[in-house]
Structure 1
Amino acid sequence: MTTPAELFTGLLREDAAAPRITCYDDLPGPTLGERIELSGRVLGNWVSKAANALQEEHDLEPGGLVRLEVAAHWRALYWALATWSVGGGVVLGAGVDGEEDEVLLVTDDPDRLRPGPAVLVTRGALARRAAAPVPDGVMDEAAELATFGDDFTAWMEPAGSDPALVTTGRRLDHGSLVAAAGAAHPLSAGARAQLVGPGTEELLLGCLAAWSVGGSVVAHLGSPQPDVVTRRAQDEGVTATLG
């Protein structure tokens, strides 16, 4: 059994400098046209800061839930990894019956904010504050995340049966999530796998599947033209497409 947090920690030990996620941003908005590549080390820095924020500011612990309402994007990826590092579960899609009051909201859409603790994510790589007003009790990620530590140690380890990914109609635990991702997306060792226009769930599972074989992901976010995808895939050395 390998948990998501153990998988990512293993990648950092194996080769922290290797690229693990490359994002071409075709999403409407100010980040349109961005290409960002993150090594394991750089991604791990973001994960540590977000995990410290979840643990220190929101007391998230194993069994706790985070509703992730962030477009498929590298920022969604590190918030998911941070949640798994703390031992919590990521909620995508429909609500969690009977548990809604216990779910911390992390969103990139100010219109989705509700009363109570939440995190507002700004997708722009160089943003230093949210463009929209941030209500009381909401963390402005762009302004505040940098204040948290670059090293993270979980206060408690999750049980294998604790929820890791909760989506409409299914719940995967920390002990089964990596294996489920690999079964859904079988890849050869060291694969450079691409995702075209993925949803957030597809991005998370695709990354776990690629990382489980020591590989990496090229994500085309949004709706790029097929010829653009083909050119990028050649430039990036893509060896597999996840669908």
Structure 2
Amino acid sequence: MQFPAQVLLDATRRDATRPALTFYDDTPEGHGERIEISRRVLRTWVAKAANALQEGLDVAPGSVVLVQLPSPHWRLAYWALAVWSVGATLTVDTQEGADVLVTTDPDSDLAEDCDEVVAVALAGLARGFGDELRSGVMDEAAELSSYADEFIPWDDVEPDDTALVHGGERVAYADLLGDVGTVPDGARTLITTTDPGLLVRQVLQVLAADGSAVLVRGSAPGPHDARLDSEGVVHRCPEQLRA
């Protein structure tokens, strides 16, 4: 098996300049934003976030990180990969107790129950969260850039360790790439699921297949959406996990 960090490293070594993620925000608040990041740039985002978790927030294998970000979204993807790079457990279930919360709402009741909170601004060019944050909350947009571009984990993770808590189910690292469908090798793949647990596994699967993902937030594009042709999309991932 391959751990997620190795999947991303291998994809970067094969072609560092190829897009890893192309993100369209079709929601009213997104203002039609389009962001494209290469595999090299994605790996840098993941490394910085992983260093913030490990060095700044004491996350290690056995820690639980709740990532409460919209799906599909490119920031959800790199935070998931960062949690897995450290070897911790990612949860998208709010009922699961967490050591760290990564969220767009750092003043929620959920945030008050977490020891550590990371406030995330979704806009691609954000340089700060925008609102005054309470003491102890990390402002991702303002602080993440200070962390190193390379990541070395301090502890080892085992294949049987829990990688993901999703819908009440616990998924081991060894099983992350299973049971989420099939992606053709090298395919430019559309992902539109609003299920964050499925989204992060689909992104990992696309990278493992040496492909690249097009994420569209908002209404799923129809078969005649011109963007699908311009982006070279040849495959669609399912919006729900098949039983």
- TM-score (normalised: structure 1): 0.91
Superposed, which structure 2 residues align to 1:45-194 within 5 Å? 45-72=44-71, 73-96=73-96, 100=97, 102-112=98-108, 113-114=111-112, 116-178=115-177, 180=178, 183-194=179-190
> For residues 170 and 196 of structure 1, what CA distance do their matches in structure 2 show?
22
> For residues 59 and 95 of structure 2, what CA distance do their matches in structure 1 show?
19
> Who is 2:216 aligned against?
220
Q: Residue by residue, what CA displacement relative to the aligned partner does 1:161-201 show, whole Å, maximum 9, x if unpaired?
A: 111111122111112212x1xx4221221111102353322
Aligned residues: 234
Q: Secondary structure at the match of 2:85?
A: helix
Is the 8 Å Cα contact of residues 21 and 74 (structure 1) preserved in structure 2?
yes
Q: Residue by residue, what CA displacement relative to the aligned partner does 1:93-143 show, whole Å, maximum 9, x if unpaired?
A: 2422xxx2x521000123433153110000111111112221111101111
Identity %: 39
* Runs of 4+ residues deviating >3 angstroms: none
**AA matched with 1:235:** S
* Structure 1 stretch displaced more, 136-145 or 1-10: 1-10
> For residues 198 and 20 of structure 1, what CA distance do their matches in structure 2 show?
19
What displacement does 1:231 show?
1.2
**AA matched with 1:25:** D
**AA matched with 2:93:** G
> Who is 2:18 aligned against?
18
Q: Secondary structure at the match of 2:174?
A: coil
> For residues 224 and 173 of structure 1, what CA distance do their matches in structure 2 show?
30
What displacement does 1:224 show?
5.0
- In structure 2, stretches of 5+ residues that fail to align are 239-243
Is the 8 Å Cα contact of residues 160 and 174 (structure 2) preserved in structure 1?
yes
- TM-score (normalised: structure 2): 0.91
Cα RMSD over matched residues?
Answer: 1.6
Q: 1:199 to 1:39 in 2, by over 3 A?
A: same
Structure whose residues are more often helix by fraction: 1
**AA matched with 1:104:** V
Does residue 235 in structure 1 map to residue 234 in structure 2?
no
